[in-house]
Amino acid sequence: MAMTGMQQSPEAEHRMPDVDTVHALLKQVADPEIPVLTIADLGVLRDVRVEDGRVIVVITPTYSGCPAMKAIEDEVYRVLRDSGLEQVEVRTQLAPAWTTDWMSAEGRRKLREYGIAPPAQSGRRAGALADARTVVQCPRCGSESTGRISEFGSTACKALYRCTDCLEPFDYFKCI
């Protein structure tokens, strides 16, 4: 007797997640405030693992109470669900706290190209303010002759600076 009914592809029926695929998919998840940066560039994406067929995604906010985290979490679920991964859990891990050192070299380059000065690499923990002695390089001309205009830039994560050489104002990613 011939087989009847629809043949379901085993792939569609039982899609086993693997860590590399999830990492590749999560490249679509950007910081809502700085869309050129993925959560991996930012160092917000801490871990991807598969436990009993379930995808666990671990994220750490750049600072506690960062309003972007809910949007990031929703986007992780959406991107993975769209690829057929239903068994997903996003875990927010607050300790150890995010540090500017977790931002990738690629992330720093993208920030600069976007016109935002990347955070000074001093291993400062989230919550530490850029003080007056922090050397902030102008993302446009590279000058270190810059001054802070305001502690608050376009979002809570940025401070407003101005370059005294090219005279352009710019945002500094201050990571508080």
Point out which span in 52-60, 99-107, 116-124, 137-145 binds Zn ion (CB under 5 A): 137-145
Q: What is the DSSP string of 29-95?
A: -B-SSSTTSBHHHHT-EEEEEEETTEEEEEE--SSTT-THHHHHHHHHHHHHHHTT---EEEEE--S
DSSP element (H, E) containing 20: helix 19-26
Contact assessment for residue 92 and residue 39, using Cβ atoms and an 8 Å cutoff: no
Q: How far is the CB of 36 from Zn ion (least distance, A)?
A: 20
Say which residues have a Cβ less than 8 Å from residue 39's Cβ, sequence separation at least 6. 26, 29, 30, 31, 45, 59, 72, 76
> Does residue 138 interact with Zn ion by CB under 5 A?
yes
Stretch that binds Zn ion, among 8-16, 122-130, 151-159, 165-173 (CB under 5 A): 165-173
166 lies in the binding site for Zn ion (CB under 5 A):
yes
- Which CB atom, from 38 or from 146, has the smaller least distance to Zn ion? 146
- Output the six-digit token pair for 125: 């923990």
**169-173/158-163 β-pairing:** antiparallel
Q: Out of 143, 148, 155, 169, name the contact with Zn ion by CB under 5 A.
A: 143
Q: Per-residue x/- marks for Zn ion, 83-122, CB under 5 A? A: ----------------------------------------
Q: Is 160 in the site for Zn ion (CB under 5 A)?
A: no
Residue 66 CB, nearest distance to Zn ion (Å)? 28
Pick the stretch among 10-18, 21-29, 55-63, 157-165 that binds Zn ion (CB under 5 A).
157-165
Which residues would be at the binding site for Zn ion (CB under 5 A)? 138, 140-141, 143, 163, 165-166
